[in-house]
Structure 1
Amino acid sequence: MPTLHWIGKDKVINHHMDVPFKVLEHKYTFDNGTQTEASPLGGGLEGASGNKIIHGDNLEALKALLPEYEGRIKCIYIDPPYNTGNEGWVYNDNVNDPKIKKWLGKVVGKEFEDLSRHDKWLCMMYPRLKLLQKLLSNDGVIFISIDDNEQANLKLICDEIFGGGNFVTDLIWRSADSSNNDAKQFSIDYNHTLIYSKALSWQPNKLDRTEENNLHYKNPDNDPNGPWFSGNISSPNPRPNLTFDIISPNGTIIKPPKNGWRWKKERIDEMIERGEIIYSEDETRIIKKTYLKDQSGIVPSNIWWDVEETGHNRNAKYELIKIFNELKTSEIFKTPKPIKFIDKILKIATDRDSIILDSFAGSGTTAHAILNLNKQDNGNRKFIIVEMEDYVEAVTSERIKRAINGFGEGNKKTEGTGGSFDFYELGQPLFLEDGNLNEMVGVEKIRQYVYYTETKTPLSEPGFSRLNDGHESFLGVANETAYYFHYDANGITTLDHAFLATMKTKAGQYVIYADNCLLTKDFMTKHNIIFKKIPRDITRF
C-alpha cells in the first residue's frame, strides 16, 4: 500500500501517545433553558444527558476522552481546516493559527521552519486522526469533509491509520447552489467527504424512500402483491452453468443474458409458478417482479447533488443568520455545513442511542442536527463536540442553547428541540512531567481516572462508594473485584495487614493501589490480592 512521507512525519507518527492526559473541568450544565454553574470544588453536578461541549485544543480533548469513550463512538464527523491558504477569518484555514504554530514548533522542533503548508497540515492532522481511530467503535464510521487542496494527502494518511481496506467511499457533496462565474479557472461546486469504517463489515443504514424513488413502480396486471418494478434477471458475474434456454408457453426460445441467468432453472420455474416471474406479451423475454412492499429503503449514493435535499454552504449561512441576528457569524464562518447535510450523515451512520463526536465543532452544526433528529424520532443520540477557538461560548454553545430553547420571533419562531448539555474546559494534566500524580487536579479526579482504567465504567457519584463501604480508599466493585486506591497527598501509604483489617467489602478478588506493599507474594496469591504501585502501575492513555 502506498504511504505518504513529509517533513516532520517521524516526529508526529506516535505523538498521540505523548500528549498529556488532562482532566475535563466541568463549568456548567444547561438543561432545558436553565444554566447551573458547577461547584468550585468540582464533581457531582454533570447532567444526565451525556451531551458535552468541550473548549480546548482538540488533540488534548481527544486524549481526555479516551478513558470513558475509547471504542464507544458510533459516528465521527469532522470538518477540519481545508488548508486553502485563506487567512481572512478567525478559524484560520492555512494552519498558521498561533496555537497550531506553537504546537508544531514544540513537537517537530527545528524542522518546523522547513515545513511547507502541506507538511504543517499533515503534522496537525495525523495525531488527531490516530486518537479518533481509537475512539471509534468496532461498528463505527468516520466522515471527514475536505476539498481538493488536501483530499489526496488525507486519503493516504487515512489509509495508513484506518486501513485501506476500511475505506468506504469518497462522498461527493454539492456544496454550492450555483456555479461561480467569477472563478479564475473552474467553478468549485462540490466538496469531498472521505468515509472510513472501523471494520470491513460496516454497512450504512438505508435511507427512507421518497415518492420519486417509487414512481417507476406500477401494477399493470393488478398483482395482489401491489406495485412492482422489473428487476435484474442477469447474473452479476459470468456463470456458464446458468446459460440455459427458457421455452415460453407458445414455444418461443428465450436465450440467456451474456453472464447467464441469476438463478438455476428449478428456481426460475418456481418463481414463474408463483407469478414472481412473468413472460412479456410477445413471450420473447421474462420479467422478474420486484415489489415495492419488499423495499425497506434505498442504499445511499456517494453523490449528493440535490441541494434541496442536503443544503449548501449559502443555505448554512442563512441558518446561522436566522439563529444569530445580532452576531455577524457569516463573517466568522465562510463555509459552514448545513443541518440537512449532517442530518443525512446521521441517518446513514447512527441509531437512536449512538454517541456522535465532532472534534472541529465550529458553529455547532453537528450538535444542532443531533438535537433536531432526536426530536423527530424520539432518539437518545448523544453528542460530544470540541472547539478550540474563543468563540465557543458566544457562538458554539450559544447556538445549542438557542436550538434547545427555540429562536426567532413571531410566526417565524423556530420551536426548540429541548435537551441539555454540559460545558467543559480542559484542565490540569493528571500526571506531571516527572511521572508523578498532579495533586492540583484533586483526589476525586484521580480516583475517577484509576477506576475507569481498571473497569471501563465510570465511578459513581463522588463519595458514594466510600459511603457505601465506609472506607475512604474504596472505589467500587466490578466483575467480582473490589478496587481500593490507598492514597495520601501528604504522606506515604502502605498496603499491610493493618490496612487489610480496615476493609469491609467481600469480593472474589482485590486490586489495591498504594505507595508500598509489605504483604508477601504467597499471602496475596492465597487471598486473591493484586498490589499496584502508585504512580507506576496506573495506566497511561
Structure 2
Amino acid sequence: MPTLNWIGKDKIVNHHQKVPFKILEKKYTYSKGTETIDGESKNKVIHGDNLEALKSLLPEYEGKVDCIYIDPPYNTGNEGWAYNDNVSHPRLKKWLGEVVGKESEDLTRHDKWLCMMYPRLKLLHKLLSPEGFIFVSLDDNEIHSLKFMLTEIFGEKNFQAEIIVQANKRGQTYKDLAKTHEYLMCFAKSPSAKINGLPGGADLFPYEDSHGRYSIRELRNRNPKFGRFNRPNLYYPIYINKDLPDKHGFCPTSLKKDENFNIEVLPLNSKNEESCWRWGTKKFEDNVVSQNDKSTIFGKPKQDGSWGIYEKYRKGTVKAKTIWTETEFISEQGTTMLNKLGLSQKFQFPKPVELVKRVIQLSTNSNSIVLDSFAGSGSTGQATLELNKQDGGDRSFILIEMEEYANNVTSERIKRVIKGYGSGSKKIEKTDGSFSYYELGKPLFDENGLLNKDIDENEIKKYIWFSETKQKYIQAKEPYHLGCWNSTAYYFYYDKKKQTTLDESFLRSIKIKAEQYIIYADNSLLDKKLMDKYHIVFKKIPRDITRF
C-alpha cells in the first residue's frame, strides 16, 4: 500500500500518545432557556485546542462515537481570506516548534497541515465506534493527502467514498475552470460498518395504495449469468387476470391457470431467451393474496404489447449517491442559516446544516453520539438537534472549538436553535434540548509524571474509575472507596499531602465485601500470601494509573 511522507512525520506519527490528559471543567449547563452551574447535559460544547480536547474525551468516549464530521482548514495558502485557511495560527506555529523541532522552520504549508491533522485523526480513530464513520469536508488542496492519511490510519478496506458536493452552482469564476464542487471523504472504522439508506420521497416512490407509497421493479432476474439452464426451479409460468386492473393498471397474478387468470408469462428476456425469476414459487405464493391492493406481485402491459411481472417495492430507504447536487448543500445555504440566527457577521463560511444532517442520517441510529472537533459556528450541533426533532431521535453531540468565539458564536447558535429565534419568514423553530459548556482545565499529570496536586480529587477518582470499569463515576460514601463493579471493589488510597501505604491497618478499615480488591496507593507492605488470600491487586500511584 502506498504511503505518504512529509517533513516532520516521524515526530508526530505517535505524538497523540504524548498529548497531556487535561480535565474538562464545566462552566455552565444551558437548559430551558437559562444557564445554570448545576446539572449536566450529554450534549457538550468544549472550548480548547482540539488535540487536547480529543484526548480528554478518551476515558468516557473511546470506541463510542458513531459519526464524526469535521470541516478542517482547507489550506489554500491564503490565510487572510477565510477562517478555514488558517494553518499559520500562532498556536500551531508554537506547537510545531515544540513537537517537530528545528525542522519546523523548513516546513511547507502542506507539511504543516499534515503535521497538524495526523495526530488528530489518530485520536478520532480511537473515539470512533466499530460501526462508526468519519466524514471530512475538503477541497482540491489537500484531498489527496487526506486520503493517504486516512488509508494509513483507518485501513484501505475501510474507504467508503469520495463524495462530490456541489458547493457553488455558478463556480469560482476567477479561475480558468469555474470550480463548482468540494469533497466529502468517508471512511469506516471497520468493514462491518454499514451506511444507512436515505428516506425515500414521492419522486422515488411514485405509486401509492392503501398501504403507502411504493416503486416497482421487474420480477425477472436481469443478470445474464442466471437462467433456466442453471436455475430451473426459478423458471415457471405466471398467469395474469387482465380484467381486474387497479387504478394504476396493475393486474392480479396467480400460479394457477383458469378462466380468469389466462395470460401466461414466462421469464424471457428481450431476445426471447429463457432467463428466470428472482423468486421461487413458495415466496411468490406468500406474496400474492386475494385482495389486489395487498398483493406485492402484479402484471403490467409493456409498450410492445407483451406483459411483465413486477414487484411492489416498499423499502423506505434508498442508497445515497456519491454526487450531491441538491440546492440545500451549496455553501450559501450555510451563510443564509447563520443570517437567520443573527450571527452571520461573527462567522464566515459555515457549513450548510442540511449537508451535515445528511451525513448524520447516513451514519447514525437514534441514540448515536456525533462528534465535530472543528466545530466552527456549530452547524453540526444544529443539525443533530433538528434531526432529533424530525425523526424522534435521541442523538447527542460533542462540539470542539479552539477559537474565542466558542461561547459567543458556537454556543450562542445552539442556544438560539434550542429556544427558537426570529420571526416571520426568517423564524427558526425551537428544537428544545440542552448542552453543557466546558473549558480545558489543567493536566492530570504534571511535567514529572506525578498526579497534579492542583486537580480536584474527584476528577482523579473519576478518571481512574472509568479507566478500570468504563462506567460513569458516582461518589462512594466510604473513604477511599471508588465503587464496586463485576464483584471487584476498587480503592484509591491517595493523599495530596503525604505518601500512602497499603498495609494491614488499611485493610482493617475496608468494610466492603467483594470477591476481589484493586487498591491504588503509593506503596504496599502486604506480603504476597496475604494478598493472594484476600484476592488483592496492588497498583502503584502514579505508575500503574492508565495513561490515555
* TM band (smaller chain): 0.7 to 0.9
Instruction: Give the C-alpha shift of residue 261 in structure 1.
Output: 3.9
Instruction: Give the C-alpha shift of residue 51 in structure 1.
Output: 0.7
Q: Give the distance between the partners of 2:338 and 2:109, measured in 1 at CA.
A: 30
Partner of 1:524: 531
Question: Which of 305, 330, 335 matches 1:317?
Answer: 335
Q: Which residue identity does 2:124 align to in structure 1? A: L
Partner of 1:42: none
2:493 equivalent to 1:486: yes
Question: Which of 417, 420, 423 matches 2:437?
Answer: 423
Partner of 1:344: 358
Partner of 1:98: 90
Q: Give the distance between the partners of 1:435 and 1:83, measured in 2 at CA.
A: 36
Instruction: Give the C-alpha shift of residue 255 in structure 1.
Output: 5.2
Question: Which of 501, 509, 522 matches 1:502?
Answer: 509
Partner of 1:377: 391
Partner of 1:190: 181
Question: Which of 316, 322, 331 matches 1:302?
Answer: 322
8 Å CA contact 1:316, 1:339 repeated in 2: yes
8 Å CA contact 1:238, 1:260 repeated in 2: no
Q: Which residue identity does 1:183 align to in structure 2? A: Y
Partner of 2:345: 328
Q: Give the distance between the partners of 1:24 and 1:287, measured in 2 at CA.
A: 64
The superposition leaves residues 439-467 of structure 1 with CA deviations (integer Å, 9 ceiling, x where unpaired) of 1112111111111100011211xxx31x2
Q: Give the distance between the partners of 1:224 and 1:55, measured in 2 at CA.
A: 50
2:220 equivalent to 1:233: yes
2:540 equivalent to 1:540: no
Partner of 1:452: 466
Instruction: Give the C-alpha shift of residue 127 in structure 1.
Output: 0.6
| Secondary structure in structure 2 of the residue aligned to 1:491 | coil
* Identity, % of aligned positions: 46
Change (3 A) 1:210 1:410: closer
Partner of 1:64: 56
| Secondary structure in structure 2 of the residue aligned to 1:507 | coil
Q: Give the distance between the partners of 2:150 and 2:451, measured in 1 at CA.
A: 35
Instruction: Give the C-alpha shift of residue 288 in structure 1.
Output: 3.9
| Secondary structure in structure 2 of the residue aligned to 1:145 | strand
| Secondary structure in structure 2 of the residue aligned to 1:61 | helix
Q: Give the distance between the partners of 2:154 and 2:133, measured in 1 at CA.
A: 10
Instruction: Give the C-alpha shift of residue 179 in structure 1.
Output: 3.1
8 Å CA contact 1:356, 1:382 repeated in 2: yes
8 Å CA contact 1:473, 1:484 repeated in 2: yes
Instruction: Give the C-alpha shift of residue 252 in structure 1.
Output: 8.9
| Secondary structure in structure 1 of the residue aligned to 2:117 | helix
Q: Give the distance between the partners of 1:415 and 1:264, measured in 2 at CA.
A: 47
2:10 equivalent to 1:6: no
Partner of 2:308: 287
8 Å CA contact 2:66, 2:363 repeated in 1: yes
| Secondary structure in structure 1 of the residue aligned to 2:225 | coil
Q: Give the distance between the partners of 2:36 and 2:75, measured in 1 at CA.
A: 39
Q: Give the distance between the partners of 1:3 and 1:259, measured in 2 at CA.
A: 50
| Secondary structure in structure 2 of the residue aligned to 1:205 | coil
8 Å CA contact 1:243, 1:257 repeated in 2: no
| Secondary structure in structure 2 of the residue aligned to 1:122 | helix
Q: Which residue identity does 1:328 align to in structure 2? A: Q
8 Å CA contact 2:219, 2:277 repeated in 1: no
Q: Give the distance between the partners of 1:251 and 1:488, measured in 2 at CA.
A: 85
Calculate the TM-score normalised by the size of structure 2: 0.87
Q: Give the distance between the partners of 2:519 and 2:123, measured in 1 at CA.
A: 30
Q: Give the distance between the partners of 1:225 and 1:400, measured in 2 at CA.
A: 36
Q: Which residue identity does 1:276 align to in structure 2? A: I
Between Structure 1 and Structure 2, which shows a larger proportion of helix residues?
A: 1
Instruction: Give the C-alpha shift of residue 423 in structure 1.
Output: 0.7
How many residues align? The count is 514
Calculate the TM-score normalised by the size of structure 1: 0.88
8 Å CA contact 1:31, 1:421 repeated in 2: yes
Task: Give 1:165-314 correspondences, 5 Å limit.
Answer: 165-180=157-172, 182-215=173-206, 217=207, 229-231=216-218, 233-234=220-221, 236=223, 238-239=225-226, 241-242=229-230, 254=268, 261=275, 263=277, 267=281, 276=297, 278=299, 287-292=308-313, 294-307=314-327, 310-314=328-332
Q: Give the distance between the partners of 1:197 and 1:389, measured in 2 at CA.
A: 29
| Secondary structure in structure 2 of the residue aligned to 1:110 | helix
Q: Give the distance between the partners of 1:81 and 1:315, measured in 2 at CA.
A: 19
8 Å CA contact 2:62, 2:129 repeated in 1: yes
| Secondary structure in structure 1 of the residue aligned to 2:537 | strand
| Secondary structure in structure 2 of the residue aligned to 1:131 | helix
8 Å CA contact 1:254, 1:285 repeated in 2: no
Q: Which residue identity does 1:98 align to in structure 2? A: P
Instruction: Give the C-alpha shift of residue 486 in structure 1.
Output: 0.1
Instruction: Give the C-alpha shift of residue 218 in structure 1.
Output: 8.0
The superposition leaves residues 54-88 of structure 1 with CA deviations (integer Å, 9 ceiling, x where unpaired) of 01110000000000000000111101111111212
Question: Which of 66, 69, 77 matches 1:77?
Answer: 69
Instruction: Give the C-alpha shift of residue 210 in structure 1.
Output: 0.9
Change (3 A) 1:266 1:533: closer
Q: CA RMSD in A?
A: 2.9
Shifted more, 238-247 versus 415-424: the winner is 238-247
| Secondary structure in structure 2 of the residue aligned to 1:214 | coil
8 Å CA contact 1:316, 1:336 repeated in 2: yes
Shifted more, 91-100 versus 110-119: the winner is 91-100
8 Å CA contact 1:81, 1:94 repeated in 2: yes
Q: Give the distance between the partners of 2:28 and 2:299, measured in 1 at CA.
A: 66
8 Å CA contact 2:297, 2:312 repeated in 1: no
Q: Give the distance between the partners of 1:57 and 1:5, measured in 2 at CA.
A: 25
Q: Which residue identity does 1:212 align to in structure 2? A: D
8 Å CA contact 1:253, 1:284 repeated in 2: no
Q: Which residue identity does 2:318 align to in structure 1? A: I
Q: Which residue identity does 2:397 align to in structure 1? A: F
The superposition leaves residues 389-429 of structure 1 with CA deviations (integer Å, 9 ceiling, x where unpaired) of 11111211111111112211467432322111111111111
Q: Give the distance between the partners of 2:304 and 2:101, measured in 1 at CA.
A: 77
Q: Give the distance between the partners of 1:21 and 1:265, measured in 2 at CA.
A: 58
Q: Which runs of 5+ in 2 are unaligned?
A: 239-262, 289-295
Q: Give the distance between the partners of 1:251 and 1:486, measured in 2 at CA.
A: 81
